[in-house]
DNA sequence: AACGAGTGCAACCGCAATCCA
DNA sequence: ATGGATTGCGGTTGCACTCGT
């Protein structure tokens, strides 16, 4: 646990990477792959810890990185995903090809927060500032990582243009709407929403989430996984279908027996 | 030109999760 | 089952740059 042991070793460089170091790392990974990160510095002749090498590769040197400014489409998607999952930057980055969690986190903190505030929206809760003024520490509430008991403040999403059905699922009959009732989530806020797909707590305290069909690809399952409940009920076009996350997330995703398969049977 | 405040970004830190002997 | 090693993640820091005075 804790800090990687290699970081205690002497003579390890810290701070900005030099072009020479970058070149060594790129050449090494191009030739051998990263394999075990802890062995990379030694094999690549770098005075860095493996953790530092990994970070440098993931956030800066990876060839598939899309650098440059974020598009409006990306902005919108980041905001929507943040509303759904909170500060789970890696989850958000997974939906934005070529972007890293670090990049999105920095962009959120430096630009999007400001934009939302200027638009009168609280960036933590995604609700009008007038509604949240004088409330508790919204920043802390938005922290998804350390607060499994304090889920994201809003869970409403709308159609995200980047999330299209997979090509290999073209023959799938997708229901026009899917809602999910998740038990034991009374602590989750079920407030009103300005978005099109509202979520609300029903009389039994279950949490219902409406998902637009345009979001219905395998990527949606990644954030469905975020729900802590072990059991939930799906409603395809209003018809109930009992399923458990665990059944889904243990190999049935994308298979004919999985969710898409279930839908296909309709 | 000099200085300080503000800003953006790369990198570090510390923790939790996971792997594996 | 256990504990050390390793990976992954989100929060935070520090530095370089820009801009206004």
A87 touches strand B (CB under 7 A): no
- Residue recorded with tokens 């998804």: A144
In angstroms, the CA of A111 and the C1' of B7 are apart by 10
- A221 and A132 in a single domain? The answer is no
- A43 and A130 in a single domain? The answer is no
In angstroms, the CA of A184 and the C1' of C21 are apart by 57
pLDDT at res. A265: 27
pLDDT at res. A188: 33
A4 touches strand C (CB under 7 A): yes
In angstroms, the CA of A7 and the C1' of C15 are apart by 21
In angstroms, the CA of A79 and the C1' of B10 are apart by 23
Over chain A (266 residues), the average pLDDT of each successive run of 10 is 40 88 92 89 91 93 87 91 90 92 92 86 82 50 35 37 35 38 33 33 39 38 38 39 33 31 26
pLDDT at res. A105: 93
CATH number at residue A135: 1.10.10.60
- A253 and A187 in a single domain? The answer is yes
Residue A148 lies in a domain: no
pLDDT at res. A34: 84
pLDDT at res. A12: 84
pLDDT at res. A155: 39
Helix or strand run (H / E) with residue A230: none
pLDDT at res. A120: 85
pLDDT at res. A51: 92
A8 touches strand C (CB under 7 A): no
What residue has its CA nearest to the C1' of C6? A38
Give the pair of three-digit tokens for residue A204.
């039994």
pLDDT at res. A240: 39
A110 vs A152: CA distance, rounded Å? 20
List the domain range (segments joined by +) for residue A176: 167-264
Which nucleotides in chain C lie less than 7 Å from some protein C-beta? Answer: 4-12, 15-16
Residue A90 lies in a domain: yes
A149 vs A172: CA distance, rounded Å? 36
pLDDT at res. A93: 92
Q: Looking at the 3D structure of chain A, how many domains does it have? A: 3
pLDDT at res. A89: 93
- A205 and A230 in a single domain? The answer is yes
pLDDT at res. A216: 38
* C-alpha of A239 from chain center: 28
A224 vs A222: CA distance, rounded Å? 5
């Amino acid at each position: 646990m804790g800090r990687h042991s290699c970081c205690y070793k002497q003579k390890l460089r810290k701070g900005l990477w030099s072009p020479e170091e970058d070149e060594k790392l790129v050449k090494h990974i191009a030739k051998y792959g990263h394999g075990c990160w802890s062995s990379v510095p030694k094999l690549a002749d770098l005075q860095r810890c493996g953790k530092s090498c990994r970070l440098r590769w993931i956030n800066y040197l990876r060839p598939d990185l899309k650098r440059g400014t974020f598009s409006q489409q990306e902005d919108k998607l980041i905001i929507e995903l943040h509303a759904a999952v909170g500060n789970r930057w890696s989850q958000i980055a997974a939906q934005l090809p070529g972007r890293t969690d670090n990049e999105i986190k920095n962009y959120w903190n430096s630009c999007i927060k400001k934009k939302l505030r200027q638009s009168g929206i609280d960036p933590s809760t995604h609700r009008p500032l007038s509604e949240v003024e004088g409330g508790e520490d919204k920043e802390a509430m938005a922290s998804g990582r350390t607060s499994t008991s304090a889920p994201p403040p809003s869970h409403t999403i709308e159609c995200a243009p980047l999330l299209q059905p997979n090509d290999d699922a073209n023959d799938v009959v997708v229901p026009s709407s899917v809602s999910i009732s998740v038990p034991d989530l009374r602590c989750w806020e079920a407030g009103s929403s300005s978005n099109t797909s509202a979520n609300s707590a029903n009389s039994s305290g279950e949490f219902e989430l409406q998902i637009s069909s345009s979001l219905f690809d395998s990527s949606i399952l990644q954030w469905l996984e975020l729900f802590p409940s072990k059991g939930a009920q799906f409603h395809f076009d209003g018809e109930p279908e009992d399923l458990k996350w665990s059944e889904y997330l243990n190999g049935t995703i994308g298979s004919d027996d999985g969710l898409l398969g279930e839908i296909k049977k309709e």
